[in-house]
Amino acid sequence: MSQLPLRAVEAFVAAARALSLTGAATALNLTVPAVSRRIHILERYLGVRLFHRLPRGLALTEAGQKYFAELGPA
C-alpha cells in the first residue's frame, strides 16, 4: 500500500472547513485546480467520494463527514 498523501489530506481539511475550493485555495496559498487535484488524489487513495460538488461550494458526503471527524483529533 502506498503512503497516505499528506498534502492531499491538508487540502481536504481546508476544503472541509471552508466548504469551498476557493476558500481552501486561499488558506493554502494554492490555486483552485491544485486543491481540486489534491482532493481527487485523496478520494482515489481512499476509494470514496468525500465531497458533493455543488454550483456554489461543496458539501461533505457521509464518508467525508466521517473522515473529517476522524481527522479532528489530529
So where are the chain's domains?
6-71
| Measured distance CA(64)–CA(60) in Å, rounded | 5
Give residue-wise pLDDT tens across range 24-62: 999 999 999 999 999 999 999 999 999 999 998 999 999
Among 40, 3, 6, CA closest to 21 = 40
Say which residue the cell 481527522 belongs to. 71
Which amino acid type is present at position 48?
A: V
Does pTM surpass 0.75? Answer: yes
Give residue-wise pLDDT tens across range 2-12: 788 899 999 99
- Residue 68: burial class (beta carbons within 10 Å; 0-12, 13-18, 19+): middle
Provide CATH code, domain 6-71. 1.10.10.10
| Measured distance CA(55)–CA(57) in Å, rounded | 6
**34 three-class SS:** helix
